[in-house]
Structure 1
Amino acid sequence: MKELWLEKEPSAVYGGKINQLINLCQLGFSVPKGLILPADQVMAWLRAALPEYSKEGLKELIHLGKEEIAERLQQYPLESAWLQELASFCQENQAYIVRSSAILEDGQAMSFAGQYDSIGDCWTLSEIEQGIRSCLLSLFNPEALAYWQRQGLPEQDFAMAVLIQEQIEPDFSGVCFSLDVATNQDQTMLLEYVKGSADSLVSGQVNPEQLTLPWYNPTWSQFEKVEMPRAVLQKLHEQVLQIVAYFGQPMDIEWCAVQEQVYLLQARPITTVPTKIDSGRWTTANFRDGGVAAQPCPNLMWSLYRHSWQEALSSFLLAIGLEPEGVMPPLMRLHYARPFWNLGVVKQGMEQIPGYIERDFDDELGVNKDYQGQGFTSKLSPALLLNFLRVALKTQKVTKNFLHQAPDKLQELRQQFTHLNQEIRELNDQSPLQQVENLWQLVLNQVYLDSEGTYFWQAYINTVQLSMKKTSLLKWLTVDEFFQLIAKLGNVSHTKPLARMLEAADLILADEKLTDDWLKLSVEKLQELAAQYPERADFIKIQDFQKDFGYHSARELDLRVASYEEDAHQVLTAVQQLVADSAYYQAARASLSLVSESELDLAHLSRAKQKKIEKISQDLRNLLWWREEFKDISTRYYHLIRQISLKLGRTYEKRGFLKNEQDIFYIKKESLTAFMEGQKTADQLQEEAADNQHYCQAYQNFEPAGDLTNKEMSLEKVAHDSQALLTGMPASSGQVTGRVRVLLDLADIETIEPGEILVTRYTDTGWSYVFGILGGLVTEYGGVLCHASIVARECGIPALVCAKNATQLLETGMLVTLDGRRGEIRIHEEE
C-alpha cells in the first residue's frame, strides 16, 4: 500500500483515477490524503476469494452472478497487511471514502463514469473494510460488465485498484469542464457547483449553479453576486488552466472547497467533445496530412494561413463564378487550436459544377460523410444548363491561363526565394532593427501571399478539374485503372531529396575509410566530425544537401520546428541507414527507377474514346505535377518565414520586447505589424504570446473530430467484408503482404525496415524520402489528392487513407495484407 500524497510517479497498477490524482499532486495542487491498494494486490485477493476466476476467467464470473460473488467477497478475509496499513493511516473523527480506480477508468478513450461505486461516510475501520468489499463488488455490476463487453476490451485489463481517501466536508463542491460543453466555446470553462457536498449534484437531485469563465482576462467584477467566495473562483480558474495545459486535452475536474481552500477530487479527459457550433460546416480535411492542422497551430502560422486562404479562395471562387451571394463570409476559423476551412461555402459552389458528385469530392479531400450513397450530384437540367456552361468555360479559361504562366511563375518564385534566403542569412546581431523589421514585413506581408496564393490556386484548380474529369474517366475505367493513369508523374520535387541522399551514400560506400566511420559512429559523433572536418567529401555532400533541400523539416507547416538547414540530424540518420542497410538502400534505389505509365488495355473501347482518355489523363497528370511543384515552393517560403521570424525574435528578445525569441511564433502577424507601427506595446505582445502558448498546450494531445457543424452529425457507417480488420479509402492501387510499423512521430522513422507497411495518423512532406523503402502506407486522415497519396503513387506502393483508428487497431509487427484496390487490410493469424 502507498500513501497517495507521498507517491512520486503514476503506476500501471494504480488505475486511471489514482494516476490522475498523483499528477495533480505533482503539480502542487491540494488533494485529500489517501491510501492506495494497487490493482495487482487487489486482483490477487479477488482470485483467491473467487477460484472460478483463476480457472475460467471473466465468463465464469458473469455466469456466477453478482449475489453469489457478493457472498464470497463478504466471507473472504482481507489481507492482514492491508488492515495493518489502514490502522496506521486512519485517524479518529475523520470520515473516509473508498473509491474505485479501474485500470481503464478515466482514460482518454473511455471514462467508465458512473460504472463503479464509491463508498463514503466510513468512520471506522470496519466500515472502511466493508467499503472496500462493496467497491470491489461494483467491478461486477451488470452495467459495468455490459459496458466492458460493448467496448470489446481485453480481459487482462479487467482490474481495479482501490483508494481510501480522507472525505472532505465542503462549503461548496462541483465540477468544472475546461471547455464549455454546452456551447462548444473552446476557450471558455463551464463551472457547475452546489453548496455542501456534490452528492446531490452527481445524483441529479438538485440543479447546480452554472458559471462560464473565459480562459484569458476574465472580468471578475461580473461575479460580485456569486455566492461562492471570489478567492475560490479565482483559484479554480487558475488551477483548471494549469491542468488543461498539463494534460493537453479537454478535462472534466471534480473539486470542493472549505472556506478559501480548494481541493481537487478527480480529473479525467472529456471523452465526448462536442462538434456542434453556432453556424456553418467546417472541416480540417486536407489540412492534416502534411498540413497545418496536424498539430496545434500557433498564432503566427494561424494568421498567415487565414489571410492567404481567405484571399486565395475568395478570388478563385469569384474567378470561376462560384462565389456565394452577398458579402464573402469568413473562409477559415480556429477551433481546438486547429484551422478549419469553410466546407459549407465550398460545397455550395461545387454543386454548380458539371459532373460534381459529393462522395467523390469528399474522397479526394478526406471529408467525413454524413450521408449514404453518392450524396449530392449535379444533374443537368434546362434551368441549370446555362450556369453549368458558364462555370465550365470560366474554369477552363482559368486553368489554361494558370498553366500557361506556371513555368515563368515557378522560376520567378525560386529566384526570389534564393535572393531572400541569402538576404536573411546576412542579417546578424548588429543589423539595425529597422532593417530586420522591413525584411520581415516584406516576406510575411507581401511575397508570402504571392507564393502561397499561387499554391492554393493550383490546389483549387486541381480539385475542380478532378471533379469534372474523373467523372468522365470512370465511365470507361475502373477506380484501379484511374489510379494507374495518375501514378508515376516523374521528376516530382518531393522525390529529389532521396535521390541526393543516395548520391551521398554512393560516395561513402565507394571509400572504405568513410564507410567505416558511417558504420561505427553515432549520428551525434558524425555531427561532431563534420564540424571538425567540413572539407571532407562526405560532409561536403551533406552541406550541399542542406543548401539545396535544407528548407525541408520534419513538420513543414509548424514554424517552431527546425529545418534541415539548421539541424542535419535527420539527414545524417537517413544517409547512415542507406549506408548500413543494403536492403534499405536497394528499396530506396528501386523506388526512384524510371517506370513508364502502366499500359492499360483499352482495346475494347473505340479509338475516339481512347484518345479522349489519353487527353484527359494527361491533363490531370500535368495538373498533379504542378501541384507538387508549387507545394515545394510553399515549403521554401515557410522556411523563409521561420528564418526571418527567428531573426526578429532574437532582436526583440535582446531589446527586452519579448521574453524569449520563440515567443514570436505565438503572436499574430497583425499584432507584430501593429507593434512596429507603434499601435501595440511590448507588454501586449508578451501577453498574447503567453496566452497563445497556453492555448496550444491545452490542445496538444487532443485529436479533434475533423468536422464542426451547426447540426448533429450522423457519420456514415461503412460496411465491409468481415475478414477485413479495417477499411479505408483507396489512394494508390496494388496489394502487398508485410509487417506493420506503427509510427506517430518522424523521430522514430529510422526504425522502419524495408518492405514494412507504415501505419500513421498522417504524414508530412518531410517524410517523403522514406516512402521509397515502404511496402505500403496506411493513414487515418487524408484523401486521394493529399500529399501522402501522390507520393505513394509516385513510389508505386499501395496506400490506404482515412482508415479510422488504424494506429490503435494495428500493432507493430503484425503480418497483414494491404489491398489498395479494395481499400482493405486483413490481418494474418500466426502460429
Structure 2
Amino acid sequence: MEVIDLSRITPDLTPLIGGKAAGLGALIAAGERVPAGFCLTTQAYRAGAIPEDAVLTAYRALGGGPVAVRSSATAEDLPGASFAGQQDTVLGVEGETALLDAIRQCWASLGNERAVAYRAGQGLQDAELAMAVVVQEMITPSAAGVMFTANPLTGTRTETVIDAVPGLGTGVVDGTMDTDHYVLPARGPVPADQHHGCLSPGQLDALRAAGHRVQSALGSPQDIEFAYDARGTLWLLQSRAITTLFPLPAGNDPDDPRIYMEVGHMQGLRRPVTPMGISVLRETTRRWFQLIGVDDAAVDPFLVDIGGRLFMDLTGFVRSPRLHDRVPEMVKVYGPAVARGVRRILDDPRYAPRPAAPGRRAFSRRATARLLLAVLPASLFGALCALARPAAARERAFRELERVRHQPRTDPTDAVSRIRSAAGLQDATMTGPMMRSLPPLWAALFAQGVAGWLLRGVVRPGELNATLRGMPHNVTTQMDLKLWSVAEAARPHRELLLGTAPDELAARFLRGELPEFGLAGFLAEYGIRGSAEIDVGSPRWADDPTPVFAALAGYLQVSDPDQAPPARFARAAAEAEAALADLTDRARRVRPVRGRIARSLLRRSRELAGLRELPKFLWLTPLAEVRRELLAAGADLAGRGILDQPDDILFLTLDEALGAAGGADLRAVVGGRRREHDRETRRRQVPGLLLSDGTNPQALPDERAAEHGPDVLVGQPAATGVATGPVRIVHHPSEARLQPGDILVAPTTDPGWTPLFLTLGGLITETGSPIAHGPTVAREYGIPAIICVPEATTRLTEGQVVTIDGATGLVRMHGAEEPDGAENEGGLKANP
C-alpha cells in the first residue's frame, strides 16, 4: 500500500504512515473538519522511488489545485518526541512536477542537520526510521495558528493557550512573526482582556471547544494547528501530543486541589525510580511506622509517585492555619526556587488556611505524640552524649556499621519466600543501627547552628561553610580516597585504562579479563554503592562498575602531586582549621564569651559532622540484600517463563511480584512500564513543585537573575571558593569524561557521583540542598559548589568557560575560551 486516503487511516497503520498522518486520521475519526488529502506511505520511501502514477492520480482526485505537502516520519508526533519543525513542510504547492519535487524535499529532510541532532538528543536510532508524506488541499486562511489544550509553559491543564496571526500560520510555528496571544480558562466566557487581535471571542470559544473534544478523543493534551478560512470555517490541520508536560498525579480530585514537592533529589534521584524501587521504599516506611506504633496510612502523603519521581504532599501544611505562613521557610532546605514557588501559592485562595478534611490529616495528634516519644528522647540523649564525648560517639556509630555488615544472611529457596524476605530485610537496620547512628549527626547540626547564631554580626557569607572543609570520619570521603589508592596502583596500566571506554573496561572486569590492581577489593567493600542507590532497581557498582572506571580515568590524568586528592583533602582541612580560628578570634575580640563558646561548638561540629554519610551507608547493606533477593526471584520467574528476563521484576511492585510468583502473567505490564521508564529517563527537567492541575509554580523567572545580567546564572551557595574552568555536562556518572579542573554540571548528585569530585575545579547542580550528600562532600574536598541553578544542563554548553563563586551562588559565563589569568582558588589552572 503506497498511497492511502486520509479518511481510511486507522491507528494500526502508524508504522506505515508516520505520526503526523496518524494524528490527522484520528482527527477525522473524531469527526473534526480536516482538509481532504492522502498519504504517501513509508513503503515508497523504503523502495527509494516515488510511485508517480498513484501519487498523481490521488492529486488529481483532489482537484489538482494548491496543496500542502507535509513530512510524516515514523518517529514523529509520538508520545515521547514531537519532532515539531524538525522535518520539512512545503505550502502552496501547485502542479504535478512541483508536487513530486516537494515530496523529494520532505524525504530529504529526514536527514537534515536539525532532525539528526534532535533524534540524537531523544536517544532515537536512525536504523528503522522512514518517511511518509501527507498531501492535503491547501486552505487559504484569514487567520491561523497553534492551540495548546494545556499551558505548555506552566503545565496548567485548565488553561488553553492560542497564538494566531492573520493569513498563513507559518509565522507562528517558525517564530518569525509577532503573534496574537490568548490564554483562556477551561470553561466560561472568554475573558474581556482576551478580546483582541485577529480572532474574535466567538472564534476563540469555538477553538477552545474543539481543543477539548480533540483532547478527549486522543487521550492527552494536544498541540493543534488550525486555520479559519475566509468564510469563518474552522479547519484543523494537525494534532500531536504535548510531549513536554510533566505527568499529573494519579487520582486527582478537581474539587480538592493539592500541592506536591519533589523530594527524591535529596537522595540523588533525578531520573525516574523503578516501580519496585518505589514499592520497596513505601514498604520500608510503612513497616517502620508500624514498628514504632504509628498508623502506616501516614506513609502515602510522604511518598507520592508522579512520573516515577518521589513527591511529598504539602497541602496539609499550606492549608494549616498554624503553619501556612511558615511553609516557605520550612522548605528552604529543598532549594530557594521551591521556597519562592510556595510563597506564590500562599496567595492562591484554593490553598488558604482551613481545617484539615477528614482522612487528609497526615498524622493525628496521638500518632504525632507516639512518634515523638519513640524517637525524640533517645535522639536527644544520644546527641548530648555525642557533644560531651565525640570520640566515643564516633566509635559507637562505626560499631553499628560493623554490626550491620555482619548480620546473618537469609537463604530463601523459592521466588515467593525471596520476595517476602526482601520486604522485611531492612527492618532490623532501620529501627536499630540506623536510628542509633543519627544522634551524632543531630549534635553536629545543633553545634553548627548555635555557633552560627552566636557569631551573627561577625561571620561573613560563606565563612561558616568554610569551617566544614576537609571533614574527617566521612565514609564517602574515605571511599573516594581508597579509590584514589586503587588508581595509584593502576598507573602501570594507565594506557589501557585511558584508551578504553569505561563500559568496555567494566565488561572486561566482570569477565575477569583485566589485570589485578586492587579494584576487586574496593568493590568488595563498596560495591553496594551506585548512582540513585536507594532505588533497588538501580545497578550497583558491583553489578556495573562503569562509573568507577570513568572516575579512575579522571584520576589517572592528575600529574601534579599538589593536586592529588589526598593533598587537596589535607589542604582543605588545613584551610578549614584556619578559617575556624580566624572567625572565632575575630568574634572573641568583640564578644569574648560568645567567641569561646562558638569555637568549642565548631570544633565539636568538625569532630562529628563527618558522620553525615554513615546512616545512609548503613542502610545500603540491607538494601543491596533486598536487590539480590529480588533479582534471584526474578531469575526463578524467568526460568519458569513467567517473566522474560530476571530484571523484569524491578518493573513490578512487591504485591505484583508475589502475584507473578503465583502464576499471574504480567509481561504486558512490565513492557508498558519499561517504555514509560525509558521515556521519563530522557526527561531533563522535573518540577520541584507541582499542583494537581499540572501547574509548575516555579515556571516564572527568578527575579534575582535579572539583577546580574544575561551572562550570570544564579543558584544557591553550597561550598565556598572560587573556580574558573570549562563546563562538563554529565547526566550520569558512567558518562563522565573529566579533566582535572573541569566544572562538573549535573542535574543532581549523590554519593555515587563523589569519586568524580576529587579532581574537579567546581560543581554546579540543578537541584539539591546544602545538607545533601553531594554538597557535603564538595565542602569536605574544598571544591566550590553551587546548587539549585535552574536548567543549568541546558543553559550552559559543553566546554564553555565559567567562573563559579560558591559563597554568592553566582555562575559567570565567559564563553568558549578561558579569560586571561583565570585560575582556581586551589591553584589548579582551568583547561579551556
What is the alpha-carbon distance in structure 2 between the residues aligned to residue 455 and residue 373 of structure 1?
35
| Superposed CA offset, 1:452-489 (max 9, x none) | 77789998998899777755554542231121133332
**How much does 1:177 deviate?**
8.7
Deviations 1:581-637 (A, max 9, x none): 525994434333262322333424312111332344356556643331112223333
Structure 1 residues 747 and 418: alpha-carbon distance in aligned structure 2, compared to 1, 3 A threshold: same
SS of the counterpart of 2:59? coil
- Equivalents in 2 of 1:356, 1:178: separation in Å? 30
Alpha-carbon displacement from aligned partner over 1:475-521 (angstroms, at most 9, x marks no partner): 54223112113333213111223222222233344xx5x56665676
Q: Calculate the aligned-residue CA RMSD, in Å.
A: 5.9
The yes-or-no answer on 1:742 pairing with 2:729 is yes
Cα distance change, pair 562–25 in 1 and its aligned pair in 2 (3 A): farther
| Shift of residue 545, structure 1, vs aligned partner | 0.7
* Residue 649 of structure 1, CA deviation: 1.0
AA of the residue aligned to 2:664: D
Q: Which residue of 1 aligns with 2:758?
A: 772
The alpha-carbon distance between structure 1 residues 284 and 579, as it changes in their structure 2 partners (threshold 3 A), is same
Q: 1:305 aligns with which of 276, 281, 288?
A: 281
Aligned residue among 335, 339, 364 for 2:310: 339
**Is contact 2:68–2:90 with CA below 8 Å preserved after alignment?**
yes
Determine if contact 2:546/2:734 at 8 Å carries over to the other structure: no
| Aligned 1:188-267 pairs, distance under 5 A | 204=206, 207-208=209-210, 252=223, 266-267=239-240
Summarize the Cα distance change of 1:530–1:363 in structure 2 as closer, same or farther, 3 Å threshold. Answer: closer
The SS at the match of 2:595 is helix
Mapped partners of 2:766, 2:340: distance in 1 = 18
State whether residues 725 and 825 of structure 1, in contact with CA within 8 Å, keep that contact through their aligned partners in structure 2.
Answer: yes
Q: What is the distance in 2 between the residues matched to 1:586 and 1:521?
A: 24
TM-fit CA distance, 1:792: 0.9
Q: Is residue 547 from structure 1 mapped to residue 524 from structure 2 by the alignment? A: yes
Say if 2:246 is the partner of 1:269. Answer: no
Cα deviations by residue, 1:11-63 (Å, 9 ceiling, x for unpaired): xxxxxxx9998567999x99952599xxxxxxxxxxxxxxxxxxxxxxxxxxx
Query: Residue 138 of structure 1 aligns with which residue?
Result: none
Secondary structure of the equivalent of 1:658? coil
CA contact (8 A) 2:284 2:424 kept: no
Do structure 1's residue 628 and structure 2's residue 613 form an aligned pair?
yes
Distance 1:130 1:811, change over 3 A: closer
Residues 646-665 of structure 1 mapped to structure 2, 5 A cutoff: 646-665=631-650
Alpha-carbon contact 1:740-1:759 (below 8 Å) kept: yes
2:481 matched to 1:499? yes
Report the Cα offset of residue 647 of structure 1: 1.0
Alignment of 1:651-730 (within 5 A): 651-672=636-657, 681-683=662-664, 685-686=666-667, 688-702=669-683, 703-709=685-691, 713=697, 717-719=703-705, 720-722=707-709, 724-730=711-717
Q: Is the 8 A contact 1:546 1:565 kept in 2?
A: yes
The Cα shift of 1:729 comes to 0.6
State whether residues 715 and 786 of structure 2, in contact with CA within 8 Å, keep that contact through their aligned partners in structure 1: yes
Over the matched positions of the two proteins, sequence identity in percent amounts to: 18
- Secondary structure at the aligned position of 2:718 is classed as strand
1:593 correspondence with 2:593 = no
Residue of structure 1 in register with 2:425 after alignment: 443
Q: Which amino acid aligns with 1:302?
A: I
TM superposition shift of 1:371: 6.4
Given that residues 447 and 601 in structure 2 are in contact (C-alpha distance below 8 angstroms), is that contact kept between their aligned partners in structure 1?
no
The answer to whether structure 1 residue 167 and structure 2 residue 167 are counterparts is no
Partner residue of 2:261 out of 273, 283, 286: 283
Q: Distance in 2 between matches of 1:644 and 1:741?
A: 37
Q: Does the Cα contact within 8 Å between 2:569 and 2:781 map onto a contact in 1?
A: yes
**CA–CA distance in structure 1, aligned partners of residues 205 and 771 of structure 2:** 50
CA distance in 2, matches of 1:126, 1:203: 41
Q: 2:339 aligns with which of 362, 369, 386?
A: 369
**Which amino acid counterpart does residue 789 of structure 2 have in structure 1?**
A
Extract unaligned runs of 5+ from structure 1: 6-17, 37-81, 136-161, 185-190, 193-199, 215-232, 241-249, 256-262, 377-389
**Which of 748, 755, 758 does residue 762 from structure 1 map onto?**
748
Deviations 1:223-279 (A, max 9, x none): xxxxxxxxxx7xx67xx8xxxxxxxxx875899xxxxxxx99553534455879644
Q: Secondary structure at the match of 1:636?
A: helix
Unaligned segments of structure 2, at least 5 residues: 5-13, 27-36, 43-49, 107-130, 139-146, 160-185, 188-201, 227-235, 347-368, 387-392, 818-832
Once structures 1 and 2 are overlaid, which stretch shifts more, 491-500 or 406-415?
406-415
- For the pair 1:607 / 2:592, whether they are aligned, the reply is yes
Letter in 1 for 2:715: G
> Which deviates the most, 411-420 or 599-608?
411-420
Deviation at 1:165, TM superposition (A): 2.5
1:74 corresponding residue in structure 2: none
Q: Which residue number in structure 2 is paired with residue 244 of structure 1?
A: none
CA contact (8 A) 2:17 2:72 kept: no
- Whole-angstrom distance in 2 between the partners of 1:687 and 1:525: 32
Q: Distance in 2 between matches of 1:112 and 1:25?
A: 14
C-alpha distance in structure 1 between counterparts of 2:566 and 2:811, whole Å: 27
One-letter amino acid matched to 1:400: L
> What is aligned with 1:44?
none
Matched position secondary structure for 1:295: coil
Q: What amino acid maps onto 1:784 in structure 2?
A: P
Distance 1:302 1:89, change over 3 A: farther
The 1:178/1:308 distance shift into structure 2, 3 A limit, reads farther
Q: Distance in 1 between matches of 2:787 and 2:22?
A: 40
State the 1:302 CA deviation. Answer: 0.9
In 2: Cα distance, 1:356 partner to 1:776 partner: 33
Cα distance 1:696–1:351, how it changes in 2: closer, same or farther (>3 A)? Answer: farther
1:482 corresponds to 2:467: no
Once the 2 structures are TM-superposed, how far is the Cα of residue 695 of structure 1 from its aligned partner? 4.0
2:313 counterpart letter in structure 1 = N
**Structure 2-normalised TM-score?**
0.63
State the 1:543 CA deviation: 1.1
Give 1:783 shift: 1.6
Question: Shift of the alpha carbon at 1:432?
Answer: 4.8
Counterpart Cα distance in 1 of 2:132 and 2:508: 55
State the Cα distance separating 1:718 from its structure 2 match: 2.1
How big is each residue's C-alpha offset from its partner over 1:646-676, in whole Å with a ceiling of 9 and x where there is no partner?
1111112223343321121122224445777
Q: 1:570 to 1:209 in 2, by over 3 A?
A: closer
Q: Which amino acid aligns with 1:342?
A: D
Structure 1 residues 568 and 605: alpha-carbon distance in aligned structure 2, compared to 1, 3 A threshold = same
Q: 1:291 to 1:308 in 2, by over 3 A?
A: farther
2:787 counterpart of 1:809 = no
Q: Partner letter of residue 666 of structure 1?
A: F
Q: How many residues align?
A: 648
Aligned to 2:825: none
* Preserved contact between residue 577 and residue 584 of structure 1 (Cα < 8 Å): no
Contact 1:489 1:625 in 2 (8 A): yes
> Is the aligned partner of 1:828 residue 2:832?
no
The aligned counterpart of 1:787 is 773
Provide the rounded CA distance (Å) in 2 between the counterparts of 1:437 and 1:740: 44
| Structure 1 pair 330–177 and aligned structure 2 pair: CA distance change class (3 A) | same
What is the deviation of 1:752? Answer: 0.9
Please say if residues 735 and 819 of structure 1, whose CA atoms lie closer than 8 Å, have aligned partners that are also in contact. Answer: yes
Letter in 2 for 1:401: F
For the residue of structure 2 that corresponds to 1:828, the secondary structure is strand
Matched residue, 2:272: 296
Change (3 A) 1:582 1:656: same
In the alignment, residue 166 of structure 1 is paired with which amino acid? V
CA distance in 2, matches of 1:583, 1:498: 18
Q: For 1:539, what is the secondary structure of its paired residue?
A: coil
> Which of the residues 29, 33, 36 maps onto 2:39?
33
